[in-house]
Structure formats: C-alpha cells, structure tokens
Amino acid sequence: MAQAQIGIIGGSGLYKMNALKDIEEVQLSTPFGSPSDAVILGTLDETRVAFLARHGRNHTLLPSELPFRANIYAMKQLGVEYLISASAVGSLKEEVKPLDMVVPDQFIDRTKNRISTFFGEGVVAHIAFGDPVCHQLAGILAEAIASLNLPDVTLHRGGTYICMEGPAFSTKAESHLYRSWDATVIGMTNLPEAKLAREAEIAYATLALVTDYDCWHPNHDSVTVEMVIANLQRNATNAQKVIQETVRRLSQNPPPSEAHSALKYAILTRLDQAPAATKEKLHLLLQKYL
Ligand SMILES: CSC[C@H]1O[C@H](OP(=O)(O)O)[C@H](O)[C@@H]1O
Ligand SMILES: Nc1ncnc2[nH]cnc12
C-alpha cells in the first residue's frame, strides 16, 4: 500500500491542497468502515503526504456523522505518524480575532454522540490524555506560522478548544459559559480525532483558523455559516502556506513524540487471552504489543 509519514485532515473550507503534485487517490476500507472520502496522496515539495477532507470534498457529512475511527485508521494504514488537522473555529476571546490562527494545547469535550475509541469488544485500554496535543508537532506548526509573517494574522500559541456536538451553533448562555471556563476557541470536530489519533499512536496537532466570534460578542453578529465560509476562504491560502511550511520543517527533522508509544502502558487486557476477532480488527494498533 502507498505510504506517507505525514497526514493532513482538512476541515470546513479546506477540501484540497493546491500544491500537491503526483497525486494518487486511494479508496481505503477499514474495520471501522470507509473514511469521509478518498485519501489524496501527493508530494508537497519533496515529501509524500496524505490528505483527507474531513467532511468529504463536497462537504456532505455533519460533524456527528463523521467516520472518525475510519479516518484515523486509514491514516494509520498509510503509515502516518504525524497528523495535522486544519479546522474552522469560533473565538471565545476578544483578542483572538477572525482570521487569526490558534495552536491549541487543550480540549474540553462537549460532544454527546461520538465514538471516540477503537477499544472495547474484549480489549480495554485507557490512554493518557492530560496533554492531548503532541507538544513537538504543535511547536513545529507554531514555528511555521510565525516564520511566514502572514499579514493580518496573529498567532496564539496554546489555548483550549471546546468541542461541541453541533450542528447548531451554541446558545449565548453556552458561549458565555465557555468563556467563563477561559476556553479560547470552539469547534465541532477535533476532540474525537485527537483521542483516536493518540490511541493509534499518531502525533496530532490542530491548526485552528478563526472565522467568527461565536455569539457572545456584543459588537459582532452571531456566527452564521456564511460568515464562517467567507472568512475561511480568506484563510485558506494562508492555511495552505502554513501546512506546506510545517511539512517542510517536519520532514527535515521528524521529532520523537510521546504519542508514538501511547499504548505502551495503556492496555489492561492480557492480549494473549483477548478475543481473536478483536485482535484481528485492531491488528494495526496492537501488533507492537502482541
Ligand atoms: C461550517 S461551520 C461549522 C463546522 O466548521 C468546523 O468544521 P471543521 O472542524 O471540520 O473545520 C466546525 O467544527 C463545524 O464542523
Ligand atoms: N462559532 C463556532 N462554533 C462551532 N464551530 C465553529 N466553527 C467555526 N465557527 C464555529
């Protein structure tokens, strides 16, 4: 099977990477169903990367409908060790303005209807998730953003991403509540992805692209999809530059990541006693530990 060490998941507004060369489109099937779309393998400068449009290339999947497990498993099948997620977010802080970029280091889970683990069916594992983002990958991403000096874009290193269920945006009461928790941005997708990436021992970091002030700001209209897309289109060119620069830096010096051994002390079940069918299903994740 084709391989790529670096994966990219593009969110709302980022449905393709324009700079990819020598493209190969692969339809993958996984024990968890099909991913959101075909994975696009292509070369960015000298480096082979795997790109997936999170909601499908025509944006046909709701956040609650996303096949998170299939998406992450597909990346694992391709040999991805570093996964960069690009996502549209609303801002929960005055100083985090639309068109700014945030590299969050924490998440709060407000989802209600997501499957966020590969485990179960006779194999129990509890990954550590106190630091849900790969520190090294997030650092490279932030350095890449800073190095580009993008006009009108302020970089915010660190911050908390609230992951809500959606698809409706928040009420004002919810938005104020999240502000009282000192959260930085809000979206609907990245937390399940980060958990599953960690279980799959893939280093994960988020490029959060601010599109709106959600609905809490007294001087800005409440978020609408129109607002999000208009700003994301303005963001998309910048996001592609950032991803390209991140891939360039990462491929020159891929860092060690704690994520790469996340399952080492996480599996409680004696694997020699575990159901064969589950071991078969999770072979890609468990093979190091069998
Ligand atoms: C189109 S606005 C809401 C939508 O945008 C974000 O998606 P993604 O994280 O894939 O960029 C947000 O999470 C919602 O799914
Ligand atoms: N305000 C917001 N809430 C949730 N997801 C978003 N994606 C972009 N803006 C958002």
Residue 233: its pLDDT value, please?
Answer: 84
Residue with the two structure tokens 């079940």: 269
Closest residue CA from atom 7 of ligand 2: 89
Residue 236: its pLDDT value, please?
Answer: 87
Which pTM does this prediction carry? 0.98
Would you say the ipTM is above 0.90? yes
The residue type at 147? S
Ligand 1 close to Cβ of residue 11 (< 6 A):
yes
The answer to whether residue 234 scores a pLDDT higher than 90 is: no
Q: What is the mean pLDDT of the chain?
A: 96
**76 Cβ contact list (under 8 Å, min separation 6):** 200, 202, 284, 285
Q: Which of 66, 92, 228, 235 to mutate to test the pocket of ligand 2 (most atoms within 8 A of CB)?
A: 228
CA distance 126 to 110: 20
Q: In 110-224, which residue ranges form alpha helices assigned H by DSSP?
A: 135-148, 172-180, 190-199
The answer to whether residue 64 scores a pLDDT higher than 90 is: yes
Ligand 2 close to Cβ of residue 223 (< 6 A):
yes
Residue with the two structure tokens 């190091």: 288
Phi, psi for 88 (deg, rounded to 5): -80, 135
Residue 227: its pLDDT value, please?
Answer: 85
Q: Which ligand approaches the C-alpha of residue 90 most closely? A: 2
Please give the distance, rounded to the nearest whole angstrom, from the Cα atom of residue 228 to the centre of ligand 1: 9
Quote the percentage of the chain above a pLDDT of 90: 93
User: Which 8-state DSSP code applies to residue 39?
Assistant: E
CA distance 51 to 257: 21
For range 70-89, the mean pLDDT: 98
Residue with the two structure tokens 């593009």: 10
The length of the chain in residues reads 290
The answer to whether residue 223 scores a pLDDT higher than 90 is: no
Two structure tokens written together for 172:
């004002």
For range 220-239, the mean pLDDT: 88
CA distance 207 to 187: 12
Ligand 1 close to Cβ of residue 189 (< 6 A):
yes
Tens digits of residue pLDDT in 2-54: 899 999 999 999 999 999 999 999 999 999 999 999 999 999 999 999 999 99
Phi, psi for 208 (deg, rounded to 5): -95, 120
For range 234-239, the mean pLDDT: 88
Tens digits of residue pLDDT in 130-187: 999 999 999 999 999 999 999 989 999 999 999 999 999 999 999 999 999 999 999 9
Contact criterion met (CB below 8 Å) for 217 and 97: no
Quote the percentage of the chain above a pLDDT of 70: 100
Please give the distance, rounded to the nearest whole angstrom, from the Cα atom of residue 243 to the centre of ligand 1: 18
Residue 109: its pLDDT value, please?
Answer: 98
The CATH H-level (homologous superfamily) assignment of domain 87-289 is Nucleoside phosphorylase domain (3.40.50.1580)
User: Integer distance in angstroms from the first to the last C-alpha of the chain?
Assistant: 23
Q: Which residues of 85-99 are buried (b: 16+ CB within 10 A; e: fewer)?
A: bbbbbbbbbeebebb
